[in-house]
């Protein structure tokens, strides 16, 4: 069955997007940026593919917690002027 150029491009695009999806699922050690570099696309394209296929990753690590730091010699009971 003859294909038009448009159909061939669409099929190739779908195939690449499926490969990107498989990389997202199978390679938890790679960031979206690294996956994008493997396929020659931006991290934004990788994120769009993840959204398209409903692929989600868990948290990549603990978030930075802002904690109050006590200074040496500072007394919390002293009033500021």
- Residue 18 included in any domain: yes
- Residue 63 included in any domain: no
Domain carrying residue 38: 5-53
Q: What are the backbone dihedrals phi and psi of residue 49, each rounded to the nearest 5 degrees, phi first? A: -65, -40
7-60 pLDDT, tens digit each: 999 999 999 999 999 999 999 899 999 999 999 999 999 999 999 999 987 766
- Residue 41 included in any domain: yes
Q: How many domains does the chain have?
A: 1
- Residue 80 included in any domain: no
Check residue 72 and give its pLDDT.
Answer: 73
- Residue 64 included in any domain: no
- Residue 34 included in any domain: yes
Residue 70's contacts (CB-CB under 8 Å, 6 or more residues apart) are 76
């Amino acid at each position: 069955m003859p294909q038009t150029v448009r159909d061939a491009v669409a099929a190739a695009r779908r195939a690449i997007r499926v490969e990107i999806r498989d990389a997202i699922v199978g390679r938890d050690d790679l960031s979206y940026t690294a996956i994008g570099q493997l396929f020659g696309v931006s991290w934004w394209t990788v994120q769009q593919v993840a959204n398209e296929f409903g692929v989600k990753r868990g948290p990549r690590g603990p978030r930075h917690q802002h904690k109050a730091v006590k200074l040496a010699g500072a007394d919390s009971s002293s009033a500021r002027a």
